[in-house]
Amino acid sequence: NAGVTQTPKFQVLKTGQSMTLQCAQDMNHEYMSWYRQDPGMGLRLIHYSVGAGITDQGEVPNGYNVSRSTTEDFPLRLLSAAPSQTSVYFCASSYFRDAEAFFGQGTRLTVV
Amino acid sequence: AQSVAQPEDQVNVAEGNPLTVKCTYSVSGNPYLFWYVQYPNRGLQFLLKYITGDNLVKGSYGFEAEFNKSQTSFHLKKPSALVSDSALYFCAVTLSKFYFGSGTKLNVKP
């Protein structure tokens, strides 16, 4: 059982560069979401999706884009990286919004 | 504004003693309430959740949580702590979106 797979595990970007964080789940979950984790701030919701073709903004969406073309995949795009986006990013999935969420192992991103 | 508060950054407890990790919330309506645990360099793992019904919810690894509507609290408890319980614990609530607390580091000393 792969569960939720995030790639890459680590990434260093220069300011202004773009990149995509990948997230895939094999549990046929409808609900997927992206969070960032910063010290002392817990997890903050960036974007979420309730199913293929449907996405919405979370608490801190600025600077990030998402798409959901399939049930399995939910990539997160940084359009022009900024040092403020240095964080650990987690993808999660669940059968529906209020169900138990399964988290990936995270991507540690540093923007210099 | 919706919010979740975990007032203690760190909780220290001796192995074998009971533990409590506190959580209060400020969310309109009747939210679902969750506890998750995070071990170093890992993603979060689900422990338990409250939807409705009995105010005492039992979860994984011997943890339980007590819901108190009047105090808008959802404290995590365990009768006898283990060294292996040492981790970062997050409280979360959901109504239309998920809101997480800032986390509490639990240290269980032998």
- Cβ–Cβ gap A100/B41 under 8 Å: no
**Which helix (DSSP H) or strand (DSSP E) does residue A23 occupy?**
strand A19-25
Q: What is the predicted pLDDT for the residue at A1?
A: 63
How close A109 comes to chain B (CA, Å)? 13
Structure tokens at B23: 């959580």
Tell me the average pLDDT across A70-94.
97
Smallest Cβ–Cβ distance between B49 and the set A43, A97, A100 belongs to A100
Q: Which single residue is written with the structure tokens 């309430």? A: B33
Q: How confident is the model at residue B2 (pLDDT cuts 50, 70, 90)?
A: low
- The 10s digit of each residue's pLDDT in A13-44 is 999 999 999 999 999 999 999 999 998 888 99
Residue A36, min C-alpha distance to chain B (Å): 11
CB burial readout A55-90, b (16+ within 10 A) else e? beebbbbeebebbbeebbebbbebeebeeebbbbbb
- Compute the average pLDDT of residues A2-12: 94
Contact A43 B44 (CB under 8 A): yes
3-state secondary structure (DSSP) of residue B83: helix
The predicted-structure confidence for B8-46, as pLDDT tens digits, reads as follows 999 999 999 999 999 999 987 888 999 999 998 888 999
